[in-house]
Amino acid sequence: MVDPSLLLQFVPHGTTLGSFQGKTYLSLVGFRFCKTKLWGRVAVPFHSEFEEVNLRFYVHRQVDGESRRGVVSIKEIVPKRAIALTARWVYGENYVSLPMQHKVVRTDNSIDAEYSWRQDNSRFRLFASSQGAPVLPSRGSLEQYITEHHRGYSRQRSGSSLEYHVTHVPWPASFAAHAGFEGPPEKLYGPEFTRVLRRRPDSAYVADGSFV
C-alpha cells in the first residue's frame, strides 16, 4: 500500500487512480514470457522467451457506464534491447533493457521464484516463496484485484493516453509468506519509491500463467 500522492503524476489522461477497499496499491511483478509473437503472429528468433520485471499501479476508466480496471507501468525491465525499443515505440512505455535471469523451482506443494538483474555495478533480486497449491482467487478478494486487470494504459508524449486490451483466463495464485526485493531502488526508480521498495511487502503472491 502507498500514499496516493506518490502515483498521481503517473496517472494517464482519462483515467483515475484505482483503489481496493480504499487503499492504493503499487506492485513489483516478475513475469516470464514464452512463445511470444509480434502482433500475435510473427515470432522473432531469439526474442520469443524472456523475463520482465514491472513496477505498476492500478487505474479505472469510465466508458459508456462501464468501469474498466487497468494497469499502468512506471518502468518495465527486459533483457533484450530490441524488445525494449519495440515496446517504447509501439506503446510509449518506459522499457529499459538490462541483463536478467530467472529461477523457478516447483514441488507438489511449494513454488520458489526469483528474478535477478544488474545495472552497472549493482545487483537486484525479486523473490517469492509460496506454500500450497495455487487456487483461483475468490471473487472480490485482493488477490483477484491484483491479478485480474484486462486493460493497460500508458501516457503518450503528446499528453494523450493509449488503451490496450489484455485477455487471459483467471490465474490461480498462492500466498507467498516469504518475498522481497533486494538492491538499491533509487538507481532504478528514483528516490520517491525508495522507502516503499525497501520495506516488507504488504502482500505477495505466486501466480500460474496462461495464454495471453
Q: What is the Cα–Cα distance from 68 to 58, expressed in whole angstroms? A: 11
The whole-angstrom separation of Cα 184 and Cα 153 is: 27
Please state which CATH number belongs to domain 4-202. 2.40.400
CA angle 189, 193, 197 (to 5 degrees): 100
What is the per-residue pLDDT for 108?
83
User: In this structure, is the dihedral angle defined by the CA atoms of residues 75, 181, 151 and 20, taken in order, positive or negative?
Assistant: negative
Q: Is 114 helix (H, G, I), strand (E, B) or coil?
A: strand
Which residue bears the cell 504488504? Answer: 202
pLDDT at residue 39, rounded to an integer: 55
- Residuewise pLDDT in 10s, the chain (212 residues): 999 999 999 999 999 999 999 999 999 999 998 776 655 665 555 556 899 999 999 999 999 888 899 999 999 999 989 889 888 888 888 999 999 999 999 988 899 999 999 999 999 999 999 988 899 999 999 999 999 888 999 988 888 899 988 888 889 999 998 999 999 999 999 999 999 999 999 999 999 887 77
Angle among Cα 80, 58, 154 to the nearest 5 degrees reads: 50
Look at residue 73 in the predicted model and tell me its pLDDT: 95
Q: Which residues lie closer than 8 Å to 131 by C-beta, 6 or more apart?
A: 109, 110, 174, 175, 177
Amino acid, single-letter form, for residue 145: Y
The pLDDT, as a whole number, for residue 16 is 96
Reference 62, options 101, 100, 16; nearest CA is 16
Task: State residue 183's pLDDT score.
Answer: 96
Residues 143 and 107 sit within 8 Å (Cβ to Cβ): no
Block residue for cell numbers 485480474:
148
According to the model, what pLDDT value does residue 43 have?
Answer: 58
pTM tops 0.85: yes
Residue 70 pairs with which residues in a beta bridge?
A: 59, 151
Cα gap 76→80, rounded to integer Å: 12
| Domain residue limits, the chain | 4-202
